[in-house]
A = this chain, B = another copy of it.
Amino acid sequence: MIVSMRLHATKEEVDAVRRRIEEFGYKVHSIEGEERVVIGAVGIGDVTQCLESLEAMPGVEKAVRISAPYKFVSREFRPAKTEIRVRGVTFGGEEFIVMAGPCSVEGERQILEAAEIVAREGAKFLRGGAFKPRTSPYDFQGLALEGLKLLDKARQATGLGIITEVMSDGDVEMVAEYADILQIGARNMQNFALLKALGKCRRPVLLKRGMSSTIKELLMSAEYIVAHGNPQVMLCERGIRTFETATRNTCDLAAIAALDELTHLPLILDPSHATGKRSLVPAVARAGVAIGADGLLVEVHPAPEKAMSDGAQSLDPKQFAAMMRDLQPYIELWKAQRARRLAAQAM
């Protein structure tokens, strides 16, 4: 922590700040400039509360945290990438993994058809919502338990793993019974009751970045899950909210490169929500492979124009097949790069 005093702060104000820092268990180091006094606090303590307390004191201009507020999820804590093994597939390792399927589970025929399509083209997981977070109370809210059972059927029919959303801490146990990976939607990234419940769960979690969440806040939310006991967390970039309306969200692809420096957790890209427009999905997916994501989460529907949600951003079977073909040479380059990186680490 660094505390910068105002110009002309009195000696009493400076002393009070020094004492407060010590009360919080830190050591004080001051720098007395010609113009102003700056105080450094070093050690271990309750940083957030201390910062807020200092900012509330007379004579203080700014109190800044220097070290990152997350720990378990940081590269400093764990330099090698976390590998998450689910149903024989490893996230964060040498495979580039595609998860695909419809926005919602709408019925048995639809989800089985979707599962076959995505399995045929090389996806390893089937996505599909049984619980749907919808802006309007009048929109389709999902089939709930019935939907989970249909996903299970699709798994048995195709061998695909299942990733599906859980929206409330009360539902974690039930969803975990059916799903291989629990998905947390953007709107729930800071649903802390839910994050704590996920910490006690044994399933891997895919945590989507909130619409207006910073990279740091995303990491803090992951830290909640890990600190409460579950280290199997993947992060997902799905676009953030900005002033631009030509796309549904603004895909912050560089966040994947930035996150890769800060955390060891596997990183997934959702090009469907990131753009909201089917015609843009393949190009953005390509960029996601090139930038180094560990996998993709893509919306695919047997008949997008009949989808009960997100039709405009879902690929149809042909488009998905074309995209998977198109991605192939990029995935080859990805594998070569990953192998070089793992080799370098091993040395």
Contact surface of A with B, Cβ cutoff 8 Å:
2, 4, 7, 20, 27, 29, 31, 33-36, 38, 40, 42-43, 46, 48-49, 52-57, 61-62, 64, 66-67, 69-70, 76, 133-141, 167-171, 187-188, 190-194, 211-212, 214-217, 220, 223-224, 227-228, 240-247, 250-258, 260-261, 274-275, 277-280, 283-284, 286-292, 304-312, 314, 329-330, 333
Given A34-B43, A212-B211; A136-B52 close (CB under 8 Å): no
Residues of B within 8 A of A214 (CB): 243-246
The answer to whether A136 and B69 touch (CB under 8 A), given A170-B170, A190-B187, A191-B191, is yes
Asked whether B193 lies within 8 Å of A139 as measured between CB atoms, the reply is no
Chain B contacts of A220 at CB under 8 A? 135-137
> Once the chains bind, are B36 and A31 in contact (CB under 8 Å)?
no
For the complex formed by this chain, how many copies does it contain in all? 4
Residues of B within 8 A of A27 (CB): 33
Known: A64-B64, A243-B212, A279-B261. A138 touches B304 (CB 8 A): no
Q: Which residue of B lies closest to A221 (CB)?
A: B135
Are A139 and B31 in contact, with the CB atoms below 8 A?
Answer: no
Known contacts A56-B307, A169-B170, A291-B284, A31 near B35 by CB under 8 Å: no
Main SS class of interface, A: mixed
Q: Is the CB of A311 within 8 A of B52?
A: yes
Extra inter-chain contacts (14) besides given A49-B311, A254-B287, CB under 8 Å: A48-B138, A49-B309, A55-B311, A56-B314, A133-B190, A135-B190, A141-B192, A168-B193, A187-B192, A244-B252, A246-B255, A254-B275, A260-B283, A287-B287
Q: Which of B38, B168, B287 meets A66, CB within 8 Å?
A: B38
B307 touching A53, Cβ below 8 Å: yes
Option from B40, B52, B224 in Cβ contact (under 8 Å) with A312: B52
Contact across chains for A246 and B215 when beta carbons are under 8 A apart: yes
Complex partner residue of A251 from B241, B253, B280, CB under 8 angstroms: B253
CB closest residue in chain B, given A225? B137
User: Which B residues lie within 8 Å of A261 (CB)?
Assistant: 279-280
Residues of B within 8 A of A215 (CB): 244, 246
Q: How far is the CB of A260 from chain B (nearest CB, A)?
A: 8
Is the Cβ of B48 less than 8 Å from the Cβ of A287? Answer: no
Pick the residue among B69, B254, B287, B305 that contacts A20 (CB under 8 A).
B305
Q: Which residues of B contact A253 (CB under 8 A)?
A: 251, 253-254, 284, 287
How far is it, in angstroms, between the C-alpha of A29 and the C-alpha of B67 when the chains are bound? 19
**Complex: how many Å from CA A46 to CA B307?**
12
Q: Bound state CA distance, A195 and B256, in angstroms?
A: 32
The interface residues of chain B lying within 8 Å CB-to-CB of A171 are 193
Chain B residue nearest to A223 in the complex (CB):
B137
- Residues of B near A257 (CB, < 8 A) are 275, 280, 283-284
Chain B residues whose CB sits within 8 angstroms of the CB of A228 once the complex forms? 137
With contacts A31-B29, A34-B43 taken as known, whether A283 is within 8 angstroms of B292 at the C-beta atoms is: yes
- Complex: how many Å from CA A277 to CA B61? 12
When the two chains form their complex, are residues A240 and B244 in contact, meaning their CB atoms are under 8 A apart?
yes
